[in-house]
């Protein structure tokens, strides 16, 4: 078949939509252009109320709506008018024989399946919102883009109106193909949502992910790489100020949001390259900020800040002394915003309370891997003391604090904490001993006394060298998953040197 790029005149249109917002100017423009309108049900009534002539689909098909509206447009006279190839003589002959009028424009959207699902509706209501006729019309019109324009979303009404006004009721092949691409994107997303609903119970080993919204990034991981975020960014954040987020900003923001979710006390965290370089929980947000910054003020430069408390003016004054890329909080005082907005490019985000996905997905080799998110956050009930010396109540609090941080730090990692404060961490090392040595060195560099601090490890100790180094640095309590065939060696060292150690039974690798 020869797809020609010539202009096509719109002479007839089928309109059947659930959402009628902003449809009126499109209807009136089509009427002004002399386009014959076909419609059914509520859309037909909507058009008639505008005093615009409309042909009922029933009068075209000589068949009424049946099954409570489940069958309206599923008829050869409708689909033949859409799918008929205007430049193929045999198609034209058959359409004339069966008195099938051509349909040049299809405006159809879909029943709100995802919206109904999100409202917690009954299964009966959800199933009734699985569109059959609409999805068929959309696919048919998109397939025959050589002759037909398909508008499958209310978001495209303004684009259609602009096209009608610009080209006076005509369209080019590129116009029709662009609308067709949008239509297939819409239909594939819709079907994926339905599949994912059914697969909640069926658990088929199949993956369907689609996103209808995109958020352009300044660039990817490096300036020579392109980057785009696909998803509903505005559902999670209100952006109050600053430049556009970069790919690296988003990675840090994601890590920050995941970390802060594990804390209920007033907490401030500073992240750099997805790892926390400062975290503290205190009674006030100002104190939490000051202590968090003191953890590693060097790494904090240019970092991502997040807190689970409202930022007041006093805290903003202190924060404003530091150069940073992004700040995230649930709320800000007006005076705080005035202070923080003094830097033009600084990104200020308000985090909304939105449920996040419980799985993570990553491209790998020539495919995709998916896993459950690490949603395990240990409590005192999860701790098993394996040494003769048990940790004190204060040490238990610090151990749980440190264990939250180790869960959100790149492996291999060691975290030191004291008084609900990150003292130092060793991150992303190829050996656990190296991670520990790095943490000890950082603590010394910033003048922290490790005497009485606790240590957390994301995985077990294969040898006793780590607990020995930790004890010599001043560590008095250790938390780790356990599970090494040589756990006994580490336990015996701790027993001989007065160090308490608890096992959680849960590893927290992060790569």
Catalytic residues: 143, 273
3 state DSSP class of 430: coil
Q: Is 365 left (phi over 0), alpha (psi -120 to 50) or beta?
A: left
Q: Quick one: tokens of 479? A: 């938390």
Residues 464 and 80: their CA atoms lie apart, in Å, by: 77
Residues 508 and 511: their CA atoms lie apart, in Å, by: 10
Query: What is the DSSP pairing of strand 500-503 with strand 384-385?
Result: antiparallel
For the chain, percent helix, then strand, then coil, each to nearest 5?
Answer: 40, 20, 40
DSSP classification of residue 421 = B
Residues 89 and 94: their CA atoms lie apart, in Å, by: 9
Helix residue spans in 33-150 (DSSP H): 41-49, 57-61, 76-83, 89-97, 113-118, 123-128, 133-143
Q: At which residue do the structure tokens 């010599």 appear?
A: 472
**Rounded (5°) CA angle 160-181-77:** 75
Helix residue spans in 203-284 (DSSP H): 233-236, 247-260
Q: At which residue do the structure tokens 């691409």 appear?
A: 181
CB 424 within 8 A of CB 448: yes
């Amino acid at each position: 078949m020869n797809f020609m790029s010539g202009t096509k005149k719109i002479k007839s249109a089928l309109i059947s939509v659930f959402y009628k917002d902003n449809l009126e100017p499109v209807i009136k423009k089509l009427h002004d252009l002399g386009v014959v309108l076909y419609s059914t049900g509520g859309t037909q009534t909507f058009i008639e109320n505008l005093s615009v002539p409309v042909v009922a689909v029933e009068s075209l098909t000589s068949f009424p709506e049946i099954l409570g509206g489940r069958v309206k447009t599923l008829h050869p006279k409708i689909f033949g008018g859409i799918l008929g190839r205007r430049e193929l003589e045999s198609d034209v002959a058959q359409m004339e024989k069966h008195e099938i009028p051509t349909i040049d424009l299809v405006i159809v959207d879909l029943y709100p399946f995802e919206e109904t699902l999100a409202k917690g509706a009954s299964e009966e209501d959800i199933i009734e919102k699985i569109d059959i006729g609409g999805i068929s019309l959309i696919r048919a019109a998109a397939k025959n883009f050589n002759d037909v324009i398909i508008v499958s979303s209310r978001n495209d009404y303004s684009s259609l109106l602009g096209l009608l006004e610009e080209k006076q009721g005509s369209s080019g092949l590129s116009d029709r193909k662009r609308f067709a691409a949008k239509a297939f994107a819409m239909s594939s997303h819709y079907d994926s949502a339905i599949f994912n609903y059914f697969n909640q119970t069926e658990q088929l080993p199949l993956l369907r992910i689609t996103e209808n919204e995109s958020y352009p990034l300044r660039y990817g991981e490096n300036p020579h790489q392109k980057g785009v975020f696909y998803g509903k960014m505005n559902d999670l954040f209100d952006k109050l100020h600053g430049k556009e987020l970069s790919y690296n900003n988003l990675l840090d923001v994601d890590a920050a949001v995941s970390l802060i979710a594990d804390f209920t006390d007033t907490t401030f965290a500073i992240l750099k390259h997805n790892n926390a370089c400062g975290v503290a929980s205190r009674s006030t947000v100002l104190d939490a900020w000051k202590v968090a910054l003191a953890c590693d003020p060097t790494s904090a430069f240019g970092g991502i800040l997040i807190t689970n408390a409202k930022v007041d003016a006093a805290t903003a004054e202190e924060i404003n002394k530091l150069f940073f890329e992004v700040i995230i909080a649930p709320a800000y005082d007006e005076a705080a915003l005035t202070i923080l907005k003094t830097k033009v490019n600084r990104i200020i985000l308000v985090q909304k309370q939105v449920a996040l996905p419980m799985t993570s997905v990553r491209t790998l080799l020539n495919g995709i891997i998916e896993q459950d998110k690490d949603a395990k956050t240990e409590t005192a009930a999860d701790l098993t003391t394996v040494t003769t010396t048990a940790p004190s109540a204060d040490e238990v609090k610090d151990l749980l604090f440190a264990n939250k941080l180790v869960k959100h730090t790149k492996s291999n990692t060691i975290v030191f904490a004291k008084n609900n404060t990150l003292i130092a961490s060793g991150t992303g090392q190829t050996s656990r001993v190296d991670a520990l040595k790095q943490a000890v060195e950082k603590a010394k560099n910033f003048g922290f006394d490790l005497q009485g601090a606790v240590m957390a490890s994301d995985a077990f100790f294969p040898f006793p060298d780590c607990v020995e180094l930790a004890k010599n640095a001043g560590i008095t309590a250790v938390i780790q998953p356990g599970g090494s065939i040589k756990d006994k060696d580490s336990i015996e060292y701790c027993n001989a040197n007065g160090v308490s150690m608890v096992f959680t039974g849960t590893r927290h690798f992060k790569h």
